[in-house]
Every structure is written in structure tokens, then in C-alpha cells.
Chain A
Amino acid sequence: MPKKLVIPIGPQHPALKEPASFDVTLQGEKVENILVKLGYNHRGIEKACESKPYLHDLYLIERVCGICSHSHATCFLQAVEEIAGLNVPMRAKYIRSIIGEMERIHSHLLWLGVAAHEIGFDTLLMYTWRDREVIMDLLAILTGNRVNYAVNILGGVRKDISDEEKGQILKAMDILEERTKYYAHVATEEITIKKRLSKVGYLSPDDAVKMGAVGPTGRASKITRDIRAEEKYAAYGEVDFKVISDDNCDVYGRALVRVGELMQSYSIIRQLIKKLPDTPLKVPAPLKIPAGEAVSRYEAPRGEDVHYVRANGTDKPERVKLRAPTLANVQSVATMLQKGYLADVTIVIAAIDPCFSCTDRMIVAVNGKSEMTWKQLRQHSIDWYKKNRGVDFTKIKLGIRS
């Protein structure tokens, strides 16, 4: 019998782009048990939201996550607008959907690259990330920013899409569609990819419901739930698209679902651009939101994003609660990894497209010491190194050597 080893994957590990910790108990190369620990990215956003006006909250919530920033902001706004009874103009809804789909494209391309890297296929990583630049540049043209677009405001959007920009969007979609077809071809034909992804991280449809898997993770296990189709929020009621699902129930299925969704996104953006109605961009919004509560759902690139807002009639919310898709998905990882191999751990974790910043959001990140001034902080670090590492920085003189 080989000895049992507990391998720590995280909080810092080359395979994880964000801190989270998975303690994997191994028997030989086989995984016996896995313990998940999250919470390294807690920043206190929910608490902070309670002490700021709605407009400030919007920008704070946009920073819950770097990649799905638009998702969180839109989801939050939908809840607030529902409570306030604001009727958002159609053009604003269209623009929100367009940016949302672009965000999905950017996120899925990023995921494809990361997944390829996890299985040691760096060539695909380089290719997809090159193409991701196309959509990032497009977002920068449309909103002025590559990640935190801040295109939403209460009651509408802040920026219009001009005719010239429409042309650029359509051109970019053509380029990306052609490249995505090529990746779909590679993913389905390349033998080592198939070997590494098929039958890995199996999640049965029943387990998927039980563990609350959402988004592409759930859809790859035959659960055809897509909030865009269910709720028809923003402008999704006016376009046609297919809900992509797959019956492989493994990592390979999750990859196919994401590639399929990319193709759908291109088509959705084309339809939206074509139909873009001519209405004002926003309606005036009150500073004080009347008392009430609302739950809002949004299909973020990683799955269903849920926000709950309770207003109390002032300009600050009583309570804001958000649940990012990763929190729902991460609990199924242990199920997926049963009887797996160590080599599969990271790809299975990556296959839910985890975003731990999204997941961990609450607490104000003060420890008692953050009240220190710069000088005190510097002194503290000097003392710490002296005590724990035996290095005395005060004796080190910095200077340019001649």
C-alpha cells in the first residue's frame, strides 16, 4: 500500500490564478479526499454597501470581480430598478446586453486558454489569448476600459454605440467566429485533448441539481437552465438563441458548452446590433429608493448570479446580498474529483471556471493594524524581518553603485 500524502493545492499555486486552498489526500496518484477552503479574498463589499449610497454601491459592486464586472453591476441595478419602479429604455437594455455578451466572449476565451494551460497545451492558450485581445480592444473602444466598463448607471447606460462602432463590432465578430470554429475543430479532433478531458470530473445530472451547479457547469450535465432564456431580462426577450447543453457530464462537455456558447454570443450580438432601437439612453433616477425588496438574476459567463437588495426608503440600501456563480459551483468539485487522478485535480477545478474574488466578498479587510500610518507600517515590517528573519534593514544602505 502506498503511503497517503496530503498535497496542498493553494492558497498559492501555479495552477490557481486566485487564492483558494484545496487539500488533496492522495493514494499513489489517485485522489482519496479533497478539502476546500475559501475566503482568502474577502473584502467586505456587502458590509460596505450598507454604508454607501446606491450610486457608489454600483461602482463598488462592479469591483466584486474583474472579469464579470458588468454582470454583477447589471444584476444589482436590475434589483434596484425593480424596487424603484424605473422603466429602463430599450436602447439601454440593448447596450447592456451587448456589453454582457462581449464579457461572456472575453471570459470564455480566457477560460479556454486557462484550461488548455492546465493540461499543458500552451499553444492553444497563446492562440485564444491572442484572440481575446480583439474583444478586449473592442470593449475599450466602446466603454473606454478593458475590464471595469462602468457602462451602467441607475436607470440606463452612460454611453451610446455609434454607427462607426457598430461596424467595428460586426467586423470583430466575423474574425472571432472564424477563429472559434477552428478551436471547436481542434477541441473535437485533437487526440491528447480528448484523452485528458473525457471522463474526467464526472458530475451526474442529479448531483448537479443537488450541489447547485449553475451555468456551463450545470449545462454540461444535461441541465438546460439558462437565466437569459428563463427570465428574458435586458434585451434577451427580443433575440433568438439556443441554450447550449451537453450530455457528456465531464470536463470535455464543459469545454464544448463554452465553445458552443461563444458561437451563440456572436449571433446574439449581431442580432442586437441590427435591431438597436432609437430611444433615450436613460431615465432620471431618484437618489432615495423607496422601501422594498427584490431578487435579481443574471446569467454571468460562469453561471447564474443572484443579487438580493432590500431598500429602506433612504439613499442607502438596508441589505445587499450577492451570490456569485462560483460559490454554487465550487461545492460540486469534491463530487467531481471522487476517484480521480492528481493530474486531473487542477483541470477539474479550472473547469468550473472559478472566480474566487466573486465568491468571497464580504468583510472589511481591516485587521487591527491597518489603522497604521505609512511610517508605522514601514517600522512594523522592519521589526518583523529583524525578529523573524534576522535581517536588519536599517543597516542596509541603498544607493547606486558607481
Chain B
Amino acid sequence: MILSLLQILIFPGFLFLFILALSAEYIDRKLYARMQTRVGPPWFQPFADFIKLLSKELIIPELADRFIFKILPLVACAAAATAFLFIPVYNPQSLFTFKGNIVAVVYILTIPTLTYFLGGWYSRSLYSLIGSMRVLTQLFSYEVPLLMAVLAPGVLASSWTFSAVINFYGANGFLFLVNIIAFAVAIIAVQGKLEKVPFDIPEAETEIVAGTFTEYTGPLYAYFKLAMNIQAISVAALLAAVFMPFGYNLGFFLGIIIFLLKILFIIAVLTVVRTIFARIRMDQMVRFCWKYLTPMALLQILINIIIKAAVTQ
């Protein structure tokens, strides 16, 4: 009992996640800056920002629903962190495990996005309203290819449980490279989930100020930002477990190091993507997701079904 409480609160739970999330933000910002020939922030900048935001004045719009307005950032944080608890870190077994937990994680990760939508909706500001409509439109576009891509490796492993998928690919050498198409699809779709360029449409600064977060200030905004960062880590861990299912049976320390390297790699890829593109328009995004991403994810599932049929025969 105490052990699992410690696991939830400290490792691999909230504290670990908190530090990891803010470090990931640092890495993202530093890399982004260096690629733009800027100096970039010092290592403690995300922590300092978080503390500073907590000490700022909290302003709630007059027309907003006070209770929902206040509770949403916490819900977002909690949902993003909960998803992480189901994802394996250094051994194939995650902290809490049950059958089909890959599907569960993907759905839990949708909750933060929904809170962004609700947050914007209940702010009752024009910019937030447009932002939240964009959040939803975007969700409907990237969620389908993302789900299909993440589930594709499981098709080959005949299971949608993390431990089964990891053990299956662990026993089959380099078979996980088959999923490369789904990995690419997932990386692009995740960019939409994390609202980063080229899919940062819901918070496009030059169009709708800060989108859904326009009215959020101080501590509430800090929690939303934290939720975003935790979400990034959770998503990276999910992709690492599903698409890079190796290095999970090497003991605690080596396992952690390999896990961190994988997270670092995914964060770096996401940063590179956001450095080299411009923001695209909502209609272009929707068209792109349905015209290219979804068929690609379907193709991956098809390939996996064929391979599976060939292997079992």
C-alpha cells in the first residue's frame, strides 16, 4: 500500500514526471533556440517560470463559470499524469496494468485536449471561443490516425497490452522496424495533440492571441502549461513503448537511462519538426490528416495483418 503510494507520488509517479516534464520543456526550448541561432534559456528557466506564474495574480473573467474555469487546469494535469502511470518505464510491466491498456492510455490522453476545449469555451472570450472550436476540429482530425498508428504494432503482437507488445517484439529482434510508417504518422499526429507548429492552430498567437488560453492567468495558466508538458512526456513514453520496444529487461538503472534516451530522441524529433515548418491553416490541416495520415495508418495495419498471416501459416 505504502509502496504503491510512494510509486504514485515519487517514482515513477508525479515528482519524477514533474521534473521530467519541465526538463523536457527546457530541452525543447534550448534546441529550438539553438536551431534559430539564439542562445536559449538556462536550465532552470521552466522551473522559474512555473514558480513565477504560481505567484501571479489570478484573474477570472466576469462571465466565466468560476468553478469550471478553476478546476479544468487541474483536471488536465491529473489526466496527463494518470496516463503516464499506465505506461511502462524501465520494465515491461507498467505500474498498473490490465488488458488492453494501450487503448486506455490513448483515451486518457484525450482528456487534457477536452479540457483545453472546455477551458476556452467557459472563458467566454471571443478569441478563446474560436480557439476552442479549433481544438475540437483538430482533435477530430489527428485522433483517428493517431489511434490507428498506435494500435498497429499491437495487431502484429495480437495484443493491445503494453507488456505483451514489448515482450513480443523483444522476442523477435528487429521486427519492430516494420512499424516505421505508423511511427512517422504518430509523430506528426502528436504534433497536433501537443499544439505545436505546424499544428499550433488552436493557439495561433498572431491570429487569436493565445487561443483557448487567452483568459487564463497566473497559477491556472501554470497548471495548463504543466499539463501540456506532462502530456508531451506521456505521449513520448507511449510512442517509446509501442514503437521502440527494446531495452526493457536490462534492470533498473540501464532501463531508466534507455528510457530517458528514447524520450529525449522523441522530444528532439518533435522540436525539429516545429523548427522547420510554418503553421498551416485549419482546412489544410483537416485535409492533410484525412487524405494522407489516415490512409498511411491504414496501410500500416494492412501490412501488419499480412505479415501476421504469413508468419502463422
Contacts and interface: CB of A to CB of B under 8 A. Distances in A.
Q: Are chains A and B touching directly in their complex (CB below 8 angstroms)?
A: yes
A5 interface: yes
B280 A7 contact: no
Interface stretch (B18-26, B42-50, B100-108, B200-208): B200-208
Nearest to A120: B279
Interface in B63-82: none
Interface residues of B, number: 28
Given A196-B278, A196-B281, A341-B282, 4 more contacts: A120-B278, A190-B276, A192-B280, A346-B206
Contacts of B277: 121, 190, 192
What's the interface size class on A, roughly? 20 to 34
Contacts of B278: 116, 119-121, 124, 190, 192-193, 196
Contacts of B218: none
Interface string B28-48: 000000011110000000000
Given A5-B126, A130-B37, A119 B279 contact: yes
A131 B205 CA distance: 24
Contacts of A117: 206
Interface in A227-274: none
The list of the 4 closest CB pairs from A to B, nearest first, reads: A120-B279, A121-B278, A15-B206, A126-B36
24 contacts: A7-B127, A7-B130, A15-B205, A15-B206, A116-B278, A119-B278, A119-B279, A120-B204, A121-B279, A123-B35, A123-B276, A124-B278, A126-B38, A190-B276, A192-B277, A192-B278, A193-B278, A195-B280, A196-B278, A196-B281, A342-B130, A342-B207, A343-B207, A347-B206
A196 B277 CA distance: 11
A182 interface: no
Interface string A308-328: 000000000000000000000
A126 B36 CA distance: 6
Nearest to B276: A123
A304 interface: no
A133 to B, nearest CB: 11
Contacts of B130: 5, 7, 26, 342
Interface of B: 35-38, 126-127, 129-130, 197-198, 200-201, 204-209, 275-284
A122 B33 CA distance: 10
A14 B283 contact: no
Interface in A347-398: 347
Given A14-B209, A15-B206, A120 B200 contact: yes
B283 A196 contact: no
Interface of A: 5-8, 13-15, 26, 29, 116-124, 126-127, 130, 190, 192-193, 195-196, 341-347
A195 B282 CA distance: 12
A307 to B, nearest CB: 33
A121 B208 CA distance: 16
A122 B132 CA distance: 23
A130 B36 CA distance: 10
